[in-house]
Structure 1
């Protein structure tokens, strides 16, 4: 039953002429407004979780601190919001590997060790200094890697001749990594 009919039934009997032009126009306008409000209330109810959010997905991204990449579709944006809401936090290698797996990546993490005369081998170990303990490397296997070649008209003198990046995993890891560390990314085919 439409709200227009419900409002007409609320009027006292035999007091108002429902078929009158002024009253019927008023009942129709108020009834349509209530119909629209009821329809919108279903959308608001669906937006309580991000799965049903259609119009409010940008609000979920704002609350989660996410900025969608250009050209990303609704499904990609929704997966990013859900992954952000499901993250529990952690600093371990298994935590970051599981996080990457949920985002659709396969990774390996390498932690570097400084060179010590006591137990390091000259022919096998790389000569790192003491500060290398704050650096770790994420090797991304596959994924949506973009190559950025050096162009004379678009690049700066201090840029590399060829660089690779995947903004999704890099932004995610830089946001969650311990603040006192530095993360490097290595992309493999």
Structure 2
């Protein structure tokens, strides 16, 4: 029932001509204002949790310090916010492996090492000295995840499908030490 109808029912039955046009116009205007206020209030109440954030998802990303990759869909962005809220912090390889596991991934982390005299030998790969600040995340998956457009979970203007996995990439790039560079390799199986 609309608020305009409810307002009309609140009028004393004998005192007003409920069908009079000026009164009907006033009730419609006031009723629309109350309908909008109710809708906005319900949306604000739902935004308390990121699960029902809808149009307030950018606010959740801002609060979490996340910058979504261009072209990321609503589902991907929501999962990144939820992962950021669940993150407790750490810099170790086991921490990142546990984080990936909590997101549903099995990963290995590879830290390339520079060539060192006395440790390496002829035929070993040469690396630049700054390779110490680079690490690779190998994501083991049955298949590379495809994000498909879904009615009710995606928004207008999103691609019908995107491939790769921006969720784990975004979470790791946000949590990695600032002086390091991380890159991802996806392996099936």
Same fold (TM over 0.5): yes
Distance 2:21 2:128 in 1: 88
Displacement of 1:94 after TM fit? 1.5
- For structure 1, the residue ranges without an aligned partner over 5 or more in a row are 147-164
Instruction: Tell me the C-alpha RMSD between the 2 structures.
Output: 3.6
Task: Tell me if the contact between 2:133 and 2:181 (Cα under 8 Å) persists in the aligned partners.
Answer: yes
SS at match of 1:51: helix
Displacement of 1:82 after TM fit? 0.9
Tell me the TM-score normalized by structure 2: 0.65
- Please list, as runs of the form range in 1=range in 2, the aligned pairs for 1:13-162 lying within 5 A after superposition: 16-64=16-64, 65-68=66-69, 70=71, 72=73, 74-113=74-113, 120=119, 122=121, 131-142=130-141, 144=144
Task: Tell me if the contact between 2:69 and 2:170 (Cα under 8 Å) persists in the aligned partners.
Answer: no
Alignment correspondent of 2:184: 185
- Tell me the alpha carbon deviations over residues 1-56 of structure 1, each in whole angstroms, 9 at most, x when there is no partner: 65335544666786544343212321232123213321332122111211112232
Could you say if the C-alpha distance between residues 141 and 29 of structure 1 is closer, same or farther in structure 2, counting changes exceeding 3 Å?
Answer: same
Task: Tell me if the contact between 1:66 and 1:81 (Cα under 8 Å) persists in the aligned partners.
Answer: no
Task: Tell me if the contact between 1:145 and 1:187 (Cα under 8 Å) persists in the aligned partners.
Answer: no
Tell me the TM-score normalized by structure 1: 0.65
Distance 2:102 2:165 in 1: 16
**How many residue pairs end up in the alignment?**
169
Task: Tell me if the contact between 1:4 and 1:30 (Cα under 8 Å) persists in the aligned partners.
Answer: yes
**Which of the two has higher C-alpha Rg?**
1
Distance 1:11 1:87 in 2: 55
Distance 2:182 2:72 in 1: 26
